[in-house]
Structure 1
Amino acid sequence: VWYGMVWYCLVWYGTVRYARMKLAGPLNDVGLKTTDVVVLVDREQGGATNLKDRGVTPHAVLKISQMCKCLVKHKRLSMEIVGKVATFLKENQVVIRPKPEEKKKKDDKPKRALTYEARAEKCKNKTATKLLKIMAEKKTNLCFSADITDKKRLLEVVEAVGPHICMLKTHIDTLEDFDMDVAKKLRALADKYNFIIFEDRKYADIGNTVVLQYSKGIYRPVEWADIVNAHPLPGPGIVEGLKKNGGPAGRGLVLIAEMSSKGNLATGAYTEASIKMALEYPDYVMGFISMRKLTDSPGIIHMTPGVKLVKGGDGMGQQYNTPELVLAEKLSDLIIVGRGIYQAKDPKAEAAMYREAGWAAYEKSLTS
């Protein structure tokens, strides 16, 4: 079942005791997280206790004691036999104390090891360092996705939300009245309010083509955008092509390792290949578009789209998660919010709310 950007698998087993021995343990051994076990019969010999001690919640359709009561009620079992069953169960408890590494607590939450400030000192890409420092100084992990098609409206909204964001994400090719003047004005606002500009271009071609797309034509993002992004699909040539002009200009590249839309194909082996590709270019690839933390590399900034204050969807495949889920539980670094802000009656006030929620979730995720 696909729910909340995670695949869930339900495994049914016969009894609690064997679920622990033959199911929960082996699944954990291969890196899967076992949270709940559904069984047909709890024989009440300690299996449920063993699971709970390891942070796994058992769910039994029936218990031996319930079965006995039902059989007695319908005169299929005598009280004498029920007494013998009860004695047997009491004298044959199998409680296996968990090893230290097996112990889990339901309230255990994943924690991030380093603050934004600490990570800024470990980055090999200058833009990544700058972004993490801005996030720490302004106390914001909010990126505003400005999917606005009119440059006057675009500049007005960015002016309003600028104090609350660490990054502005544009789709510059959707502007109906684009000229390089708007790019210059966005650059001036970025300097005024101290935020990064991220052009969400989603390059997906061979190296030679993206060289031209990045630095030629009417948009020329290399001249004004601190960051662009790309699909890893074409292979490392796309990174090499963008780096040709972006590297000397001190820019950064974000790879799209995962997406927030339902049914997308950026999963599994594709995501793993994206991680490997990114780690081969630590001086240029500075982050991922992803739904969660994918690597412990301090120089990789995880940016998660599809965020609203309340979970839900838009009827077109987009799935929204909350700042709390994205930052405190999935340990992403930065939330990307678009319609939740620019469709609000007061974008400035709404941005302030997202900023507060995002920062609170970040602080909650820290180890100290």
Structure 2
Amino acid sequence: ATCVSMKTSLPMVMRRKEAKSYGTKQIIEGNYKAGQKCVVVEDIVSSGSSIIETSQALTAAGLVVTDAVVFLDREQGGSENLLQWNIKTHSIFKITAILDTLLATNRIVPDVARDVREFVRTVKAPLVRSLQKKEVKKLSFKERALLTSHPLAQRLFDIMEEKRTNLCVAADLTRSSEVLQLADILGPHICIFKTHVDILEDFSPDFPARLKDLAQKHTFLIMEDRKFADIGNTVQQQYTHGVYSIQAWADLVTVHAFPGPAVLTALKQASLPDQGCVLVAEMSSAGSLGSKDYTEASVKMGEDVPDFVLGFVCQSRVSDKPNFVLMTPGVQMDTAGDALGQQYCSPSTAVSERGADIIIVGRGITKSEDPAAAAQEYQKAGYNAYMASVAS
């Protein structure tokens, strides 16, 4: 990799086995920008596990990995395993080609060549267990509505099926009139309208009621992206009291898992049966400190409370249980990142590759010259990707 970098004058990054406690303290070291493509260079591929693990670290740092170059492919299933992770392998040599050369130059006898070929054909190198992808049949939203006991989850699946949309718009605007106008314009094309009510400069008590009227008019859910993250009593007060009185108008709220199960208990106690929450399992910002263990613990915590937790905000298929909804933020047609560390992926990538049920789109719509037309484009792209995943 160093030679290629020097010869082509292309930047090189390096993956450490573990972050140092000094210096940059990063797993990925080098000169790069979020959104850039990165080729993984490896000496030998057997199962492909090391390349996949490297790809995961690079992706977490904001880079895009679609290809790997290896010096030798042992032809024991590694290339096929990598394709399951949407990584194409380019090998300099294959073990069978080397056998052909050795045999042709009388370096080995035919019996040895035959035995090695048979070994390569019959003995495959499996991925490490944590990287093995489960074959999960993708059910339709209609089928999944029948598998959940949560009334709000049933309603959400029904909305997505009836309106043919899996689009959630992130209305990160600072004026109430702009938010309400956006909700009215985009209402026919979305299943969820996501708010950040605490950034409104002119919030008034009648704003939630007007937004609820629009939600009823256009049949969508309201999700307040509050990201609750405190002890139970404090969270309950934040949810039910204060200027915003979120519990009185939001169908859904977002919650961080790190306070522990008590945060869910507190919110559930203060909620109606047709309200719920979404746990933030993974974030789309570069350099997020959320580890794999944290994500798994967050999902386990949510799956233990299916009568309140509807699903997860995530960047990958963190749960295979069909009664939970996976929502992926950072979706945009233009997949370059921004100056503040946001990482984008396309609607097709979010749904087909990362397993998203719902795509969350913000600036790709709100900053468009024609938000309604942009919303229709995202609605079509997201739902077509969903239909293709169900059909496959």
Deviation at 1:60, TM superposition (A): 2.8
Q: CA deviation at 1:94?
A: 1.5
Distance 1:358-1:267 versus aligned 2 partners, 3 A rule? same
Task: Identify the residue that residue 72 of structure 1 maps to in structure 2.
Answer: none
Larger Rg: 1
Q: Distance in 2 between matches of 1:25 and 1:306?
A: 27
Contact 1:303 1:333 in 2 (8 A): yes
Which sections of structure 1, spanning at least 5 residues, go unmatched?
14-18, 70-80, 103-107
How is 1:256-335 mapped onto 2 (pairs within 5 angstroms)?
256-335=280-359
The whole-number CA distance in structure 2 between the counterparts of 1:137 and 1:258 is 29
Tell me the secondary structure at the aligned position of residue 314 of structure 1.
coil
- Which secondary structure does the structure 2 equivalent of 1:149 belong to? coil
CA distance in 2, matches of 1:226, 1:291: 23
Could you tell me which of 171, 182, 202 is aligned with 1:177?
A: 202
**1:12 Cα deviation after fit:** 2.9
**What does residue 211 of structure 1 align with?**
236
Bigger mean CA deviation after superposition, 115-124 or 57-66: 57-66
Distance 1:349 1:240, change over 3 A: same
Q: Secondary structure at the match of 1:84?
A: coil
Q: CA deviation at 1:252?
A: 0.6
Alignment of structure 1 residues 92-107 onto 2, 5 Å:
93-95=116-118, 96-98=120-122
Quote the offset at 1:286 in angstroms: 0.7
Q: Aligned equivalents of 2:327 and 2:202: distance in 1?
A: 29
Count of residues in correspondence between the two structures: 337
Change in 2 beyond 3 A, CA 1:50/1:164? closer
Structure 2 CA distance for partners of 1:243 and 1:54, relative to 1, 3 Å: closer
What SS does structure 2 have at the residue aligned with 1:137?
Answer: helix
Residue identity matched to 1:85: R
Determine the C-alpha separation between the residues in 2 that align with 1:326 and 1:5: 17
Q: CA deviation at 1:279?
A: 1.1
Secondary structure at the aligned position of 2:105 is classed as: helix
How many angstroms apart in 1 are the aligned matches of 2:356 and 2:257?
20
Supply the RMSD in Å over aligned alpha carbons.
Answer: 3.7
Q: 1:159 aligns with which of 179, 184, 189?
A: 184
Q: Give how far 1:51 is off.
A: 5.3
Amino acid aligned to 1:343: K
Structure with greater contact order relative to length (CA < 8 Å, sep ≥ 6)? 1
Matches within 5 A, 1:98-247: 98=122, 112-246=137-271
In 2, the alpha carbon distance for the partners of 1:52 and 1:338 equals: 36
TM-score between the two structures when normalised by the length of structure 1: 0.80
Pair 1:85-2:107 in alignment: yes
Q: Residue by residue, what CA displacement relative to the aligned partner does 1:182-201 show, whole Å, maximum 9, x if unpaired?
A: 11111000000000000000
Asked whether 1:12 is paired with 2:43, we answer yes
Corresponding residue for 1:60?
Answer: 92
Unaligned segments of structure 2, at least 5 residues: 1-14, 16-27, 29-33, 57-65, 84-88, 127-132
Amino acid at match of 2:202: D
Q: Map Cα deviations across residues 112-150 of structure 1 (whole Å, 9 max, x no partner).
A: 521111111111221111111100000000001000101
The structural deviation recorded for 1:7 is 11
Alpha-carbon distance in structure 2 between the residues aligned to 1:5 and 1:180: 45
CA distance in 1, matches of 2:124, 2:106: 36
